[in-house]
């Protein structure tokens, strides 16, 4: 594995950043996770555009233009000879002084890692997973807009720990008003009367690239999608439920907080969308 750091490639064992990097010290930076399918970087322009929107939102100047970033990502994929895999692009505030003042950071640092990812064992894609509701609430949108993919994921990590302690692989997070937001690393959908419903962005849901792809695929099947205010009741009483994300792709949910969803098996709509997604990618 070779890692891209500021225009140069380093062996995995030699890739390093300074202990004074504000991404390390304070989680000050942004990132994107991107898939590679059959020698093609999936939705590259969309991911790069979102990366730059995240950076713009936190006043972080990326030292590459968007087209340069796309070329750097493609080059890193090529150097690592990856036909299928996962890309993690990080932009940190860069090296600075101790203290949170970002003005001491003279130049942002760009890191591109190409490797593999398998969030869930294959059997769960076929049979579905069980999730729980985390006690840890999503950071309110008026404190940090969920459309910013920042390096500070402690809120999500705490919820993930709750899921693991409950014997589950994932947890759904609520916002401070009690509405469904998202899971620790995935968007969440439910199916009701043959139509898709997902939490509205103002409830703390990330504007997911895979989520958007699923909405497009559903539209091709004349399946309507709605952004809505969802509660746990809506999850518990849904006909089907599934999660979407770059790492997770589309994975069915068959039980939430001990409640069986639908028949307790991946539903027809979910399986149809999974098949369409695999054909699309």
- Of 270, 254, 250, 272, nearest to 262 (Cα)? 254
Predicted confidence at residue 152, as pLDDT, reads 94
Predicted confidence at residue 118, as pLDDT, reads 81
| Same domain (yes/no): 138, 22 | no
Q: Where does a domain end: 50, 81, 115? A: 115
- Contact 276/209 with Cβ under 8 angstroms? no
Do the bridges between strand 129-133 and strand 170-174 make them parallel or antiparallel, or are there none, so unpaired?
parallel
| Same domain (yes/no): 222, 84 | no
Q: What are the two backbone dihedrals, phi and then psi, of residue 252, each rounded to the nearest 5 degrees?
A: -70, 150
Q: Where does a domain end: 64, 86, 115? A: 115
Residue 275's contacts (CB-CB under 8 Å, 6 or more residues apart) are: none
* CATH number of the structural domain spanning residue 209: 3.20.10.10
| Same domain (yes/no): 43, 110 | yes
End-to-end CA separation in angstroms for the chain: 24
**SS3 labels along 142-207:** CCCCCCCCECCCHHHHHHHHHHHHCCCCEEEEECCCCCEEEECCCEEEEEECCEEEEECHHHCCCC
Q: In this predicted model, what pLDDT tens digit does every residue of 164-221 receive, in sequence order?
A: 999 999 999 999 999 999 999 999 999 999 999 999 988 999 889 999 999 999 999 9
Residue 149 annotated to the active site: yes
Predicted confidence at residue 82, as pLDDT, reads 94
| Same domain (yes/no): 150, 273 | yes
Predicted confidence at residue 142, as pLDDT, reads 87
| Same domain (yes/no): 102, 44 | yes
Domain that holds residue 101: 2-115
| Same domain (yes/no): 204, 132 | yes
**How far is CA 141 from each of CA 16, 31, 96, 206, rounded to the nearest angstrom?**
33, 19, 28, 10
| Same domain (yes/no): 247, 143 | yes
| Same domain (yes/no): 86, 204 | no
Q: pLDDT tens string for the chain (281 positions)?
A: 999 999 999 999 999 999 999 999 999 999 999 999 999 999 999 999 999 999 999 999 999 999 999 999 999 999 999 999 999 999 999 999 999 999 999 999 999 999 998 888 899 999 999 999 999 999 988 888 989 999 999 999 999 999 999 999 999 999 999 999 999 999 999 999 999 999 998 899 988 999 999 999 999 999 999 999 999 999 999 999 999 999 999 999 999 999 999 999 999 999 999 999 999 99
| Same domain (yes/no): 134, 94 | no
Determine the Cα–Cα distance for residues 62 and 261; give it in Å rounded to an integer. Answer: 44
| Same domain (yes/no): 94, 166 | no
Predicted confidence at residue 119, as pLDDT, reads 80
Q: Where does a domain end: 93, 115, 137? A: 115
Specify whether the backbone of 242 is left (phi greater than 0), alpha (psi in -120 to 50) or beta: beta
In the β-sheet with 109-115, what is the strand arrangement from edge to edge?
A: 8-11, 2-5, 109-115, 85-92, 29-37, 40-41
| Same domain (yes/no): 106, 177 | no
| Same domain (yes/no): 111, 128 | no
- Of 214, 220, 197, nearest to 248 (Cα)? 214
* CATH number of the structural domain spanning residue 111: 3.30.470.10
Determine the Cα–Cα distance for residues 76 and 114; give it in Å rounded to an integer. Answer: 7
Please pick, among 43, 82, 109, 149, the residue that the annotation labels catalytic.
Answer: 149
Determine the Cα–Cα distance for residues 277 and 210; give it in Å rounded to an integer. Answer: 9
Number of domains in the chain: 2
């Amino acid at each position: 594995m070779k890692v891209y750091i500021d225009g140069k490639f380093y062996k995995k064992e030699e890739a390093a950043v300074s202990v004074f990097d504000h991404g390390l010290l304070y989680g000050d930076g942004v990132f994107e996770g991107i898939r590679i399918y059959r020698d093609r970087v999936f939705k590259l322009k969309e991911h790069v555009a979102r990366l730059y929107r995240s950076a713009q939102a936190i006043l972080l100047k990326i030292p590459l233009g968007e087209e340069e970033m796309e070329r750097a990502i493609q080059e890193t994929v090529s150097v690592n000879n990856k036909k299928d895999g996962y890309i993690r692009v990080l932009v940190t505030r860069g090296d600075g002084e101790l203290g949170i003042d970002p003005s001491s950071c003279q130049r942002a640092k760009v890191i591109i890692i190409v490797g593999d990812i398998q969030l869930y064992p294959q059997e769960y894609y076929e049979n579905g997973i069980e999730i729980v509701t985390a006690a840890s609430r999503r950071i309110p949108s008026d404190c940090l807009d969920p459309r910013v993919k920042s390096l500070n994921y402690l809120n999500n990590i705490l919820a993930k720990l709750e899921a693991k302690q409950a014997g589950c692989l994932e947890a759904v997070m609520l916002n401070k008003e009690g509405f469904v937001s998202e899971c620790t690393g995935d968007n969440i959908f439910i199916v009701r009367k043959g139509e898709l419903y997902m939490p509205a962005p103002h409830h703390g849901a990330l504007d997911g690239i895979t989520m958007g792809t699923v909405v497009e695929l559903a539209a091709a099947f004349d399946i309507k999608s709605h952004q809505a205010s969802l509660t746990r009741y809506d999850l518990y009483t849904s006909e089907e439920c599934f999660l979407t994300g770059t790492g997770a792709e589309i994975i069915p949910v068959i039980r939430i907080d001990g409640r069986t969803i639908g028949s307790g098996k991946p539903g027809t709509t979910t399986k149809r969308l999974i098949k369409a997604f695999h054909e699309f990618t």
